[in-house]
Amino acid sequence: MKSGLGIRSELFQQVAHTKPDFGFLEAHSENYFGASLLRAKLLDLREQYPISLHGVGLSLGRADKLSVAHLNALKSLVDDIQPTFVSEHLAWSAYQHHHVPDLLPLPLTPESLTIMCEHIDQMQSFLGRQILIENPSNYLLFDQLQIPEADFLNHLASTTGCGLLVDINNVYVSAQNLDRDPMKFINDLSSAAIHQYHLAGHTPVVYQTEAGQEELLIDTHNQPVSAAAWGLFEKTLARHGSRPTLIEWDSDFPAFDVLLNECEQANQRLANASPIVKTQSATHQHSGSGANNLPLAQQQQQFLNNILGSESDLAEIQAAHQSRIRIYRNNVSGALHRYLADIYPATEGVVGHDYFRQIVQLATQSTPPTDGNIHNYGGDLATVLDEFEGLDQKLPYLTDLMAFEWALHSVYFQEQSTELDPSSISQDALLTEPIAFRKDARMMVSDYPIYQIHRQSLPGFVGEVSIRLDQSQDALLIYKQNHAVESWLLDSASTVLLTAIQDSNSLLQAISAVEGVIPPTQLSSALAQILERRILVITSEDMAD
C-alpha cells in the first residue's frame, strides 16, 4: 500500500512531469468547482492516479440547512472525477447568510449529533455514495455536556453508514491543546469505520493570556510531520491496521524531495503494519458541566459575530479558553486576506500590503462571505474604497483596476459556452440569427491605461514602471481560450463594434449601426478578429441545438 499526496496548484507541474509512485492524490473539492484550468488538470491527473476529494466548505455541522448550490457543484465534480473517497469534516463554517473559510468547533451535544446525522444522510443521498468524516483540530472546550469525540464519530458511522477519516496530526494537536490522551481517542474508535488516515505538520505558537503565556499547537499544514505524530501513527497502525494514508502540505512548499520523503516515511510504516484490524469501540459517559446549554443556532450566530468583529466573550466557551477564540479569528482573517490578495495582486501592489489588509478587513466585516465556494467572494471589494478619504483622488484608476482583476478571476471559473464557429453555419444565419457574448466573456472600458497599470503593478514585473494616466483609455475583452483566461486589448474599431453587438439583436443589426462610424477596412478587420476568437454565441434555441 503506497501513501498519497494532497495535490495543490503549486504541485501540478512537478507531479505531471516526474510521475512519482503515489498510491493516490487528494484534492480540496471547492478549489475545483466551476470550469477552471485547474479542474481540467485534475481530470488529466485522474488518468494516472486514483483521486480522492476532500471538502472544507459544506459546513455539515451548521444549525440550519445545507447549501443545495454547494451540493450541486460538488456532485458535478464527483461525477466528473469519480473519486476513490469523498470526505468532509466534523465541523461547521456557516450559519444563515455568513460563511467563513475555516473549520469552526462544534459542541459535541445530542443536538449536534442529530444535525450531523441528518446532514450526512442528505449529503450521501445527494451524491449517491458513502462519504468519510474527518476529526478536526480543536483549540478550545465548550462548557456543556459533551459526548466524547470518538463516541460521537462512532455514532455518526453506525447511524448513517459513513466512514471515518482519522487525521493523526489533528488527534495529536487536539490532545495537546486540550490536555487529553491521544491514545485514548485512537483506542476508542471503531476500526470497522476507519477508511483513511491523514498526516500533516503543525506549528507551536505562544500566546499571551491574562494568566500568562501558553503554547498551543496550530494545524498549519506547512511543516514536516512531527516525531510525536509519527509515533502516534505507528500506534494507530498497531491498533487499527493499515489504511490509505495521505500526506498533506498546503502552503510554504518545500523542495519536492521533502514531500517525497514524507510519503516514503509513511510507506515504510505502512509496509510494517498489519492489514485491517477490527476492534470494538468502548462506550463512555459524557463529560462536561452542562452549565450552559444554548441552542446550537444561537451559539453559531454568536460565534460568527465574534470572529467577524465583536470580540465579546462567549458564554458557552470554558472561561479558561475564551482567549483561544482569537485563533479562529486569526485563521479567518488570514485566509480571507490570502485569498483576496491572490485575486487582486496588482491592487495590493499599488496600495501596499498593509493598506490592502485594511481594505480586506473592512470589507469582510461589512460584507462577509455568504457561500461555501469561496471563489464567489470578493467582487464587491471596491465598494469599501469610499471609506478611505482621499484614495479616489490619489489613485483614480483603482476601481477600474479592481474591476479588471475581478473579471480575470470570475472568468477563470465560468463555464465556457458552446462557441460559434462561423464556418458551421450559412452566412445568412450568421448575420441574422440573435447573438450574444459567451457567458465567459466580459467587456470593460476604462478612462485609464488599465492594461499597463495591471501588468506593471504585478509582483513579478521586471522593468521600469512607466505609466502616464492620460496615455490611453483602454477597452478590454476578457474571455476563455482552452480553459486559460485571455485579455484582448481592443482597438477603437473593435470596441465600437463589440459595443454595438451588445446593444443589438443580430450581427447584421450591429454592423448596420456602425457603418459610417468605422471605415470599411477597419470594420472588416474588427469583425474578422471577433469571429476568429469565437466569443459569440447564437441565442435562438433552434440554432443553439
482 versus 437: which is more confidently predicted?
437
Cα 366 to the center of its chain, rounded Å:
21
Out of 232, 248, 271, pick the residue that ends a domain. Answer: 271
For residue 287, the model assigns a pLDDT of 47
Quote the CA–CA distance of 174 and 217 in Å, as a whole number: 8
Supply the pLDDT for residue 95: 94
pLDDT surpasses 70 at 545: no
Mean pLDDT of 53-70: 97
Confidence category of residue 17, pLDDT binned at 50, 70, 90: very high
pLDDT at 209: 82
pLDDT value at residue 210? 79
33 lies in the same domain as 174 = yes
Question: What CATH number should be reported for the domain holding residue 485?
Answer: 3.90.930.50
Q: Residue 3 and residue 270: Cα distance in Å, rounded?
A: 8
- The parent domain of residue 117 ranges over 4-271
Q: How far apart are CA 227 and CA 289, in angstroms?
A: 35
Q: What is the pLDDT of residue 102?
A: 96
Domain boundary at 271, 300, 316, which? 271
Mean pLDDT within 235-250? 97
Position 388 in a domain = no
What is residue 440's DSSP assignment?
Answer: T
Residue 89 lies in a domain: yes
* pTM of structure: 0.91
Window from 31-40, 485-494, 534-543 with minimum mean pLDDT: 534-543
Q: Are 154 and 8 in a shared domain? A: yes
Q: Does pLDDT of 178 surpass 90? A: yes
Model confidence at 278, in pLDDT bands (50, 70, 90)? low
372 assigned to some structural domain: no
pLDDT of residue 288: 45
Domain boundary among 271, 293, 308: 271
User: Within a domain: residue 500?
Assistant: yes
DSSP string computed for 327-370: HHHHHHHHHHHHHHHHH-HHHHHHH-HHHHHHHHHHHHHHS---
Closest CA to 448 of 423, 475, 469, 478: 469
As for how many domains the chain has, the answer is 2
In-domain check, residue 441: yes
Instruction: From residue 409, give the alpha-carbon distance in Å to each of 43, 109, 214, 361.
Output: 21, 41, 41, 20
Residue 293 counted as domain residue: no
The residue behind cell 490611453 is 472
pLDDT tens-digit profile of 304-353? 999 988 667 787 898 889 889 999 999 999 999 999 999 999 999 999 99
What is the Cβ-side half-sphere exposure of residue 63, based on CA atoms within 13 angstroms?
Answer: 22
Banded pLDDT at 420 (limits 50, 70, 90): confident
The pLDDT of residue 346 is 97
Q: Are 253 and 10 in contact (CB under 8 A)?
A: yes
User: Which letter does DSSP use for residue 219 in this model?
Assistant: -
Which is higher by pLDDT, 203 or 145? 203
Q: What is the 3-state secondary structure (H, E, C) of 42-71?
A: HHHHCCCCCEEEECCCCCCCCCCCCCHHHH
Under 8 Å between Cβ of 418 and 537: yes
Beta strands 484-489 and 475-481: pairing type?
antiparallel
Q: H helices of 32-148, where? A: 37-45, 68-81, 110-127
Note whether residue 249 is domain-resident: yes
- Does 293 score more than 80 pLDDT? no
The CATH number that applies at residue 157 is 3.20.20.150
pLDDT exceeds 70 at position 233: yes
Any domain includes 167:
yes
Residues 6+ apart with CB under 8 A from 231: none
